[in-house]
Each structure stands twice: as structure tokens, then as C-alpha cells.
Structure 1
Amino acid sequence: MWGGRQPDFPEVHNSEKKRSICSVVEVCHVPTGTWVQKPTTGNPPLGIEGYAAAVIRNEIFFFGGRCGHDVCHHNSLYSFNVDTLNWKELSPTTSHHGPMMKSFSGMVALRINDEDYLAVIGGQGPSSNTPPQPGAQYSKGGNQRCNEVHMYRLKTGEWTSPTVTGDRPPPISQFTLTSITNTTVILFGGDIGGLKYNNDVYIFEFTDTSVKCKKFSNPGGSVQWPQARDAHSSVLINCSSVPHLLVVGGAGTNDCWLLNINKMEWKELTNIPDSVTDRYWHSLSIWNETQTISWIIEFGGRTGSGSLLSDTTFIEIISSAGDLVVQSVLDINEYQKRRIQDAVGKWMEEGSVDLTVTRVNMLGAPGAGKTCSKLLLLNEDPPTDDTSTPIACKATRAAVCGKTWNRVTRDNLLGELAVDLNAVSQEKKTKEPPLPVVLSLPDNTQPAAEIPLDPSPTPQKKPDQAVSSETKVIEEDKEYHTEAVVQEILASQPKRIHKSDHWLYVIDSGGQPAYQDLLPLFTRAASLNIIALDLSKPFNERFDLMYRIDRKFFPCYSKSTQLAFFQSAVSTGASFKPLDISCISKKPTHSMHLVLGTHYDKVNDDTLREKEEILKSSMSSLQSYLQNCVIHHKKSIIFPVNTIAESEERAKYSEEICKAIWYHGSDASLEIKIPIRWFAFELSLPEQSIVSVKEALSIGERYGMKEEDTKQALRYFHNVSLMLYYPEVTNVVFVDSKPILEILSQLLALTYVDDDDALASISDKPLSLKVMNNLKEGFFNEDIFEHLKSMSVIFSLPEFQLSDLIRLLLHLNIITKLEDDKRDTTSFLMLSFIQ
């Protein structure tokens, strides 16, 4: 937007203040409805009011106009490059040649024989002007109207006078001149003098040297035809196979009309708000968003009472069943809200992220430094206490950034999604090929050449309140923008914390014996197993396994070695479950392993070499394909680290290990195109640890996910994190696995803990000696769960009760049912007791 009458505009020929005002353009980004002010370079025109404008590709051409003082008019021609924001004078104001110095003329762009032309028609200006154009007519008086027709050839920079034939309009100004095709133009309305106004339609057909004019008048009778007018605005609507001219407002009028140019039939659009139609000298632009949707942008002008306007209105017109229908009329605030809603809908339904995803298990004996190692790899500070980890912790989301890892918090993810949504709302993608528009005039007039529509995006549409009697009913789309998580995303500052296409889900196990006993719960697709071995302790020395509860440790009367942990991790990693998710493009091949030698600061190089030899010897007993699944550090198996190192040393360790994993751990990764709605779904899952599948499906439905979509999302999160989803046997999802791990940990603890304090922390009721003895052998019946303190949490939903837990444990082969047992009730045996 440039120029026009403005408050406090200096009414002078030229001044520094005038140049300053004229050196700024207002730019509306139509996909979002936002205006921004931008400075320009070069000298802008002096004709600030009543100029004529036309567009050729990335240039806007401005002709003539009034200065704003006295009767000063111009016939200069300027170009404005919308990419460089630079003005260029093509033809100066002069009284010696070209069109007369005038305002309120019309100008259009033409394309003839692969050359660009501009055509200028009519207008008004002072009588002391350029020499008259041969064949043109001029009204009498000091302010003359004319019916001049000039062409400007851009290739040569010359003004020419084409030969005019047919129904030439009378001297006329303040009409609209609109391109239909590359060589065909339509004129409507205008001031023809003597307080008379035009309501005839003129079609101009150009060649490089001539123009043929054809007039269409109101045939009378019952035919709809707009009243005469001037100072109105018009645009051509090309969102259907038939071109239409939209006419809005004008001096002394308060209506809106649509002309089917092929049939030369007018139709008044009723129930359009007065705020749209009650104005004149306003601007009207069009954005063909799709083949069937056009947005008309109305700005400024004067009201019927003469007040200056500065509002922006957006009129949505759709093509439906061969007819054009006004779908909505929105002020700028409503439009911006609508665009956000549309962008969110498009984003939710079409958006996706290509990710490489790796599930990382932190394994090792208790106290080996798994948690410290995880924080080291995430480039975070070491913990301030030595609190041991329970059986396993909820997965930590991390992004691989330049061979380093960075934690992705909820706020980070919201910020990342805000960046992606912002990008989608700004982008322009062609979804459909444009339709050609063919001009077919009535009365056997020859059709003009085809011209294509501009390509444009195809968003999901949401209906607005009907504002026209022609409005059609459209099925309402889902209002994604009302969802709490989407509101969080919209409120988040778009901030790309970690630009990455590789994510990790890091699971920290506590090293307790229960982890091995419950291994089927943790077995997923192939993973990257980071095995922490304490270099300061012997690899072969047996140590007592401990059960931890309430930060207290109790002996389990079982022993193991660090080497046994290593061999168990590598061997069990060879067994994994295949993935069945449709949007996975590459499945993991097999698990990979990396050995971290922790407490490196407490040993010397000789000790490190000794540990290396022990590990190599242990590996020789493994099958050869397993030996090839261990990531090496140069020629060594062990990556020695000081997990409590600080600053530069810490960053060096982190980068070195992450780089090795990046280069050599890809066999444990999957590649997937994750729909954006999956992230919104995950963020929308309630805070409670357990939700019913029915509730999860309902959450997915709010984001337009079908039942199978939601089930695939649940399978994905089940496979990469510690979310537990077993639809074969239960109707709940463990968003946080803590409740089920806790109750099973307490059950297992009863099999090897004798300490009364520990038993009191586990059980609400005393257990008989018979039950305790059975437990020591791995036998139990269903009644045992009534004694466990964590029972109330895990059985909080009616969809998951004791029978469901038993069925799940049987399905996972954690327990087996004893069919011929001689005990009083149905009994079960924990399979970990079978050697």
C-alpha cells in the first residue's frame, strides 16, 4: 500500500516531509493478515493521490496522480520493485508528450507478442496540458476529463497512441479498469460530467497497435444491473472457470455487485455489511488462495459522510457448483484469528517431522554411575547427591545437536512446535494445478487467450457465520486451536532450542535385581545400550545385590559381578521385538552397545589396560555377531570417563562419546515421519500415570486422529520410551510406568527381603510364615497384592484391576500359572526363579 490522501499530509509540490512520507510502503502479509511498514529507496512519485497502478510480475507501475496542492497533476510513470523496495522513474512529468497530466485514470498491464505493455485510459486534469491526442475527446472547463488511450512499451520506453475502433467511451474519470486476460480489459462506471455517471460496461481488446472497444448497456426490463457510479473499486475473481468482476461501493452508492463476464450478467450480493459497501476512493485487492477460494482485501477510502477510513476488511468468496458465494466478511482481528485457526488445522492434519529416533538404555550394576553418565552425555552438571535410581526412570527426551546431546523439556518442545507452526503459517505450497480462465464474451465475440491463475496453498477451511443469502453450508472442521496444548504452543515464543532431526529417549535403570526379573517389560525394538562399569572396582568380584526402598538398602541374599551385568546386557540386547508402525521408513537392524568405564579419575592406565583385557576375554565367549555390536573407542572397548568432571573436561568427554555413537550406533536407530499431531497427543496425555485406552482414543480424536492413528502413536511411544501399552491384554496405558514397576518391585522384594523395616515399607498387612516361605521359592497367589501398599495406585481405574495385572504378567512371561498346584488357591510362579 502506497500513497493516498492521509491526515496531516503536506499540501505542497515537494518537501522533505512529503518525501519522507512517500518513501514508506505498508505491506500486508495476506496469509497472516499482518501489516508492516517498510522504508524504500530511490525517489518516489510526487503524484500521491488519484494515481493509476498496474502490476507486472515483481514490479508495480504508478502513473500520474495529483500532488495534493492546487491543481498540480502529473503524467510521470514510475516502477516499484517489491523485492528490492526500490523506486525507478521510467518517464518524467512533461507537457510535451505522452498522456495528459491527470488523475483518476485507469492503467492495466498487457502482454502482447511476448512483450510487456501498459495501457492508460481516461482521467481528468487541467486544461493547460500536453497536446491533445488525435481522435481523443476532452470535456470543457478548467478540469478536463478525457477518453485518451495510450500504450507504453516497456522494452523501448516509448508512449504510443493505438488506433481506437468500436464503442469508445466518452471523456471519463474515476472508473475502474481491470485486466481480464493478457490483452483484454474491462471498464465499469465513472464520472462523465454534468453530474452524470456511467453504468455501462466496456470491453477493450488490444493489439500492439490498436484497440477495439465494445459497449454493453443495461438492457432494461427485469434484468439486474447496478446503478451508475464513480469512485468505486473492482477486482477480477478468477477462482472458477468463468471470470467475474466484483464491484464494491462508490460515491453515492452502498452496494456490492458481481458480473459474470462471459454472460454479461450482474448479480447483487445482498446482506454485505455497510462497513464494506458504504465507502468510495478505497482500494480493493484479491488473493486467490486456491482454485475455489479467493480473499478480497478492502482498505481505506472515505465513508458516505466523507470521513477518512483506515480499516482493513477481508471478504472470503468461494466457488461452489459453478457459482461464486460470499463465505465470510472479517475485520482484521477476526481474519488474523481465522488464519491462525486455519494454520493450526493445516499443521495438525498435514504437518510431520522426519526424525531418526534411538532408544538408549543406561545399564550397569548398582552404583556404577549410570545417572552421572546420563547427565554427562546430556552435557549437564553432575548430581549433588548420590541418591540411587529406582528400577527404571521415565525416559528423558534428548536431541542430537552437532554430535552432542541436549535435553528436550516440555517447554523446549512447545517452543520447537511453535517454530514449526510459524513456518507452516507463512509458507506457500502449490497443492493443485491452476485452472485456466477463458474469456467468452456474449454476442459472438471471439474468446481471448487463456491465462493461468497464480498457484496458492490449500488450507483446511472452517466456516464462518453466514453473511450472504448465497452462503452455502459447509461441514465444520475440528477446532484444534481450542485445545489446551495448542494454546500453549500459540503462547510459546517460537524458539529453536535444538535444531535436530535425531532424537533420543534415554532410560536410566537402577541396576536393581528387579530390572532383570522384569526384563520383558523393558524389551522393545533394538536399542543402544550404554553399559556403565566402575573402573575402580574389580570386574570379576562378586558383590551383594541390594533392594532399595525409601532411600534404604536391604540385602537380597544374591550376588553378581560387573562382568555378569555386561554379558547379560549384550546377550539380552540380541532379543528385541519388531516394530509395526506404518510411518517408519527404516527399522533398527540390531541393538548396539557402548561400554563406559566410570570413575576413571580413581585408576591409572595400567588398571585400565587390565580391565580392557578382562572385557575382551569375556567378549570372546560371545557369538561373533554380538562382538560386532559393541562400539569401540579407537582400538579399545572401554570409553574411560570421569563422570563428575567439570567444565571443559566434562564437555570433551560428552562430545567424544556422542560422536562415537553418532558415527557407529545407527544400526540401533529407526527413521520415522512423525505426524505433528502425535506430539500434541503426547503433550495432552493427562498427568496421572494410568489412563484408559478409551480416554487416550478420545484425546487422539480431538486432534483429528482416527482410532488406528492413535494406536500407532501409542505403539511408537511404547517402543521408544517407558510408556506401557499392551492392547492384547489390557485396556489401559501406563503413561508413566512407575505404578506397575513399584507394585512388581514390592512383590519381588518379598521374595528376598527378610528385614522387618523393609517389609513394613512394602506391606500394609502381616504375612503368614507359609506365604513368606512360598514367596522365597517364587510362588504366590492373587491375595498377595492386597498386602502391598502400592495397590491403591495401580488399581485406581476400573479398566485395570487385579485380573488385568495377572493377565499382563502372564502375557509378558514374567509369571506362569500353576495348573496342578496342590496349594489351596490358584498359584503362580515367577519365571525368574526358574534357572
Structure 2
Amino acid sequence: MEGACACTINEMVYILCGRDSSTLESPTSFKIRTLNTDTHQWSQLLTEGDTPSFTACSTCVLIGHCIYTFGGWARGIVTNDVHQYNITSQSWRELEPTDRSHEPMMKNKHGMVTHGNALLIFGGYGCPKVGSKFQEGAGYVFDVQSLLSTLMWTNELHLFDIEERKWVEPVITGPRPKPCAAFSFNRIDTDRVVLFGGRQKEERVNELHILDTSNWCWSGVLLPEGPDDVWPSKRSFHSASTVFDPQLINNNDNKGLNEQHLLVLWGNDNDGEIVSDCWILEIKGKETQHDNSHHYKWRRFQFPVPVRGRTWQSTASVYNTPSVGETLLVTVGGSFENIFINEDPLMADSTIIMRFAILLFYRLSFFTKIVSLICVEDVS
């Protein structure tokens, strides 16, 4: 499958839809698959209720015992619907907004993270509903090469309050990223979200941005801090996930846990070819940013065995407590071939489970190391 979205609860990874042979034939076909990371067993869930209509390029997050989805694409149709999936009852319901005056445009290839009990949604590619208004201060760039003249990239940012079912527009400061899509968008701690890469009009980029959600301030484009710093190449349709639980960074008794590691995997370049390298972004906690050391640093990530690169895959983290000393990063699906010139590209048929060891030294510092890699055959 390709273009799926994924999230985790305990040892289970939930994979929502994605394009495969069934969704190519039926644009409203929707599946939830689960992978038990302890047993490596796949299951496909039977669900009921208001099932979402998208098949790819949506986003999902977990809040409590529910999975929330926003947006997505199916056969050229985009949406801005919000759906809630109750894991206990295995049922869907659509969360109709009580007020649509500040809703985002219909889109896919956007980013979404949690913000307390709200959904934080940024950027993407799509079109506004007839009669809707553009967000003040946001940018919208029309895709002049599209057959549909209304399609565009955006850098709008919205919150959806799941309790009040209400769209909110935070007051943003700092230079926003340019309108973009197909980037990675990850919460790294309780206050900050990292955006990397993506597509801006016809160009793939390798820009790094940080959004501080405590004051809604964008960092602007972050550049290498030293002359010897290495940096990932330009890419889109990559995936990324954090090694440490964002809720634990700078929020625990272990003073060494003040740095997040973000793993960025593969993607495609400006020609649509697979980018074969992977990277880890090491980024320090907010309280360390008054010192003179590097606040963020990229380093190349090497698998212990050869692994074929892919694009349009999904990656999610299964966090254990620091005392357990490990995190699982699970990469599902994707394509091994150029998705822009191949109508039916070769899809990845295995899931990669990466086990990271978290090594603590005198409760003052730590580093991570991949200690095992398992390939699990995907469920059909």
C-alpha cells in the first residue's frame, strides 16, 4: 500500500487506508489494518458507522481511545472532513463543525499533530470550498499545470477543537514556511513541531522549520549552524517519526532527556526518483537554547543491513518508557519506483520494524542506536 497514514497505541500500529489494488478500483474502499509489534501479526478490522471517503494522503492522530483523521484524497476528489474512530467500539463518526466560517480548504498531503485535545493542521494541496474565505496572513499558490484551475498549495494553519467541534485560527508570528505539501510534520516535545522538506510549487526543498505552539511563532528557515554541518538533500513524500515520546522531553526527572531525535526516511527528489538516504535530526530542548552549543544537528542514519529506499510510505513510533530503554519505529508500505511516471509503481510489500536502544549515562546524557531490524510481510 502507499499513501496510508498510521498511528500507535500500546504495541499496536493502526494503518488507515492507502492505495492498493482494491482502492485503485474502488475510490470509496476504506480499510483499517493493525500490526501487533510483539507478535508481528497483521489483522484487518471490520468497522461500522460514517466511514471516511478518502483513500490516500490523509493524516491521523490518537487522542485518548480515539483516532482522528482529517482531509485526504480519492480519485482526484479532496476533502476537509474530520472523522473519529472509536477503538473500543470499532465505529466511525463524522465530526461536523458547529461553525464553518474558519474551516481550512479541502486538501491532502498536509501535516497534522495533536495540540492538547485539538488537531493542529498545516499546509497541504487542494482547493477551497465555494464561498469560503482564505485565511488572513496565509499564502495560497495556484497550480498552473493542473487541469483543475482551483488546485493550490497553502501554508494555512488551523486548530480543530474536538470537544466543541469548532475550527480556530491561531494568531501566527514569525516567517511562515512557503505554501507547501508532502512534507513531514512532527511534534518533538510539548511545545514544538518540526517541518522538514516537501514540495513548494515545482520544487522539492530541504528546508527545516520549527513552530513553537506555546506562542504560535515560526522560526523561519533554519540553516546549518557550523561550516562542517551536513544536511539532507531536497525531498518530498518522505516520512519521519520521533525516537522519544514528545510528552517526555523536558518533562521528566531525567535531566538527560532534553533532546529529541527525529528519523527522516527516504522520499523522492525533484525528478520523482527515490532518495536512498536516511537521516536523524538531533534537536535540543528549549531550556538549553541559551547556551553556545548547537541546537540542532543532522547525521546520516545507517541501517545494519541493506534496505531498499521507498517513497510515499508511513512511519510511526511505539514508545516505551526510558527505563525500558527502547523505541520501535515502524515503516509501512510505500513505493519502490517513481510514482509520477509509473501509473502502477511497484509497491513495497514489507513492513520494517526498527528497534532503537536508548542508552543513558549517569542520568546526564544519552544516545540512541538501532539494535535490530525486522521485515514483516504486509497483509493483503
Alignment of 1:303-452 (within 5 A): 303-305=336-338, 306-320=345-359, 321=361, 322-332=366-376
Q: Which residue of the other structure, out of 214, 235, 243, is the alignment partner of 2:219?
A: 214
Structure 1 residues 38 and 76, CA gap change in structure 2 (3 angstroms): same
Query: Which residue does the alignment assign to 1:37?
Result: 44
Would you say the 8 A contact 2:182–2:237 is kept in 1? yes
Deviation digits for residues 365-403 of structure 1 (CA, Å, limit 9, x no counterpart):
xxxxxxxxxxxxxxxxxxxxxxxxxxxxxxxxxxxxxxx
**Greater C-alpha radius of gyration:** 1
Structure 1 residues 235 and 146, CA gap change in structure 2 (3 angstroms): same
Structure 1 residues 80 and 199, CA gap change in structure 2 (3 angstroms): same
Query: Which residue does the alignment assign to 2:291?
Result: none
1:74 aligned onto 2:79 = yes
1:295 aligned onto 2:328 = yes
1:256 aligned onto 2:264 = no
Q: How far apart are the structure 2 equivalents of 1:90 and 1:299?
A: 27
Letter in 2 for 1:287: V
Letter in 2 for 1:225: W
Q: How far apart are the structure 1 equivalents of 2:198 and 2:374?
A: 28
Would you say the 8 A contact 1:95–1:101 is kept in 2? no
Q: Which residue of the other structure, out of 251, 268, 275, is the alignment partner of 2:307?
A: 275
Structure 1 residues 238 and 120, CA gap change in structure 2 (3 angstroms): same
Letter in 1 for 2:63: I
Alignment of 1:477-556 (within 5 A): none
How many residue pairs were aligned?
316
Deviation of 1:91 after TM superposition, in Å, equals 2.9
Q: How far apart are the structure 2 equivalents of 1:153 and 1:128?
A: 21
Query: Which residue does the alignment assign to 2:240?
Result: 234
Would you say the 8 A contact 2:106–2:128 is kept in 1? no
Q: Which residue of the other structure, out of 13, 20, 23, is the alignment partner of 1:6?
A: 20
Query: Which residue does the alignment assign to 1:286?
Result: 317
Instruction: Tell me the SS of whatever aligns to 1:65.
Output: strand
Which sections of structure 2, spanning at least 5 residues, go unmatched? 1-14, 144-148, 246-255, 270-274, 285-294, 339-344
Q: How far apart are the structure 2 equivalents of 1:288 and 1:110?
A: 19
Would you say the 8 A contact 1:251–1:304 is kept in 2? no
1:266 aligned onto 2:298 = yes
Query: Which residue does the alignment assign to 1:561?
Result: none
Structure 1 residues 96 and 156, CA gap change in structure 2 (3 angstroms): closer
Deviation of 1:35 after TM superposition, in Å, equals 0.8
Would you say the 8 A contact 2:161–2:167 is kept in 1? yes
Deviation digits for residues 421-473 of structure 1 (CA, Å, limit 9, x no counterpart):
xxxxxxxxxxxxxxxxxxxxxxxxxxxxxxxxxxxxxxxxxxxxxxxxxxxxx
Would you say the 8 A contact 2:105–2:129 is kept in 1? no
Query: Which residue does the alignment assign to 1:512?
Result: none
Query: Which residue does the alignment assign to 2:341?
Result: none
Structure 1 residues 273 and 7, CA gap change in structure 2 (3 angstroms): farther
Letter in 1 for 2:161: R
Letter in 2 for 1:144: M
Deviation of 1:191 after TM superposition, in Å, equals 0.5
Q: How far apart are the structure 1 equivalents of 2:347 and 2:167?
A: 35
Structure 1 residues 29 and 270, CA gap change in structure 2 (3 angstroms): closer
Would you say the 8 A contact 2:330–2:353 is kept in 1? yes
TM-score normalised to the size of structure 2? 0.77
Q: How far apart are the structure 1 equivalents of 2:114 and 2:102?
A: 21
Q: Which residue of the other structure, out of 35, 41, 64, is the alignment partner of 1:28?
A: 35
Q: How far apart are the structure 2 equivalents of 1:56 and 1:30?
A: 20
Q: How far apart are the structure 2 equivalents of 1:49 and 1:95?
A: 24
Would you say the 8 A contact 2:18–2:56 is kept in 1? yes
Would you say the 8 A contact 1:95–1:131 is kept in 2? no
Query: Which residue does the alignment assign to 2:89?
Result: 84
Query: Which residue does the alignment assign to 2:120?
Result: 119
Deviation of 1:155 after TM superposition, in Å, equals 2.4
Matched residues, percent identical?
A: 25
Q: How far apart are the structure 1 equivalents of 2:25 and 2:124?
A: 21
Q: How far apart are the structure 1 equivalents of 2:174 and 2:304?
A: 36
Deviation of 1:96 after TM superposition, in Å, equals 6.3
Q: How far apart are the structure 2 equivalents of 1:283 and 1:251?
A: 14
Would you say the 8 A contact 1:109–1:182 is kept in 2? no
Letter in 2 for 1:308: M
Structure 1 residues 310 and 140, CA gap change in structure 2 (3 angstroms): same
Q: How far apart are the structure 2 equivalents of 1:53 and 1:109?
A: 10
Letter in 2 for 1:109: T
Q: How far apart are the structure 1 equivalents of 2:87 and 2:303?
A: 36
Letter in 2 for 1:280: T
Alignment of 1:749-764 (within 5 A): none
Structure 1 residues 154 and 128, CA gap change in structure 2 (3 angstroms): closer
1:56 aligned onto 2:63 = yes
Deviation digits for residues 775-828 of structure 1 (CA, Å, limit 9, x no counterpart):
xxxxxxxxxxxxxxxxxxxxxxxxxxxxxxxxxxxxxxxxxxxxxxxxxxxxxx
Structure 1 residues 167 and 232, CA gap change in structure 2 (3 angstroms): same
Would you say the 8 A contact 1:200–1:218 is kept in 2? no
Would you say the 8 A contact 2:192–2:211 is kept in 1? yes
Deviation of 1:288 after TM superposition, in Å, equals 2.2
Query: Which residue does the alignment assign to 2:229?
Result: 223
1:188 aligned onto 2:196 = yes
Would you say the 8 A contact 2:106–2:129 is kept in 1? no
Instruction: Tell me the SS of whatever aligns to 1:8.
Output: helix
Would you say the 8 A contact 1:244–1:260 is kept in 2? yes
Structure 1 residues 271 and 39, CA gap change in structure 2 (3 angstroms): closer
Query: Which residue does the alignment assign to 1:792?
Result: none
Deviation of 1:184 after TM superposition, in Å, equals 2.1
Structure 1 residues 245 and 171, CA gap change in structure 2 (3 angstroms): same
Query: Which residue does the alignment assign to 1:131?
Result: 133
More strand, by proportion: 2
Letter in 2 for 1:317: F
Instruction: Tell me the SS of whatever aligns to 1:166.
Output: coil
TM-score normalised to the size of structure 1? 0.36
Which sections of structure 1, spanning at least 5 residues, go unmatched? 334-835
